[in-house]
Amino acid sequence: MKIKLELYGASRDLSDENFIEFDIDNKSSIKDLKKKIIDYVDNKFNGNDNFKKIIEKSAFCSEENNIVSDNYIINKDQKIGIIPPIGGG
């Protein structure tokens, strides 16, 4: 499946565009997607710890603009938003 990860706030530093596309397995969870994003950071930014912290502390939202937990199952191609904490919170 294709996921278009929409970048907000500090996560925009992860790409020159306001999104990154990922291929994930069917019925992957947000937790699985986070691992993909961290792999991306490892490869593109030499494992930048600040970027990893942003990913770990961010909220994620579904296409329906609902905040979703790490256990949320992604079962179709869709947009997922990553919303970092504001002010380091």
- For residue 86, the model assigns a pLDDT of 80
pLDDT band for position 3 (50/70/90)? Answer: very high
Q: Give me the mean pLDDT over the 12-39 stretch.
A: 96
Nearest alpha carbon to residue 62 among 33, 25, 88: 33
pTM over cut 0.85: yes
Q: Give me the mean pLDDT over the 21-41 stretch.
A: 96
Question: 33-79: per-residue pLDDT in tens?
Answer: 999 999 999 999 999 999 999 999 999 999 999 999 999 999 999 99
Q: Give SS3 for 72.
A: coil
Q: DSSP character for 84? A: P
Q: Give SS3 for 57.
A: helix
The CA–CA distances, whole Å, from 23 to 57, 60, 75, 78 equal 22, 17, 12, 11
Q: DSSP character for 25? A: -
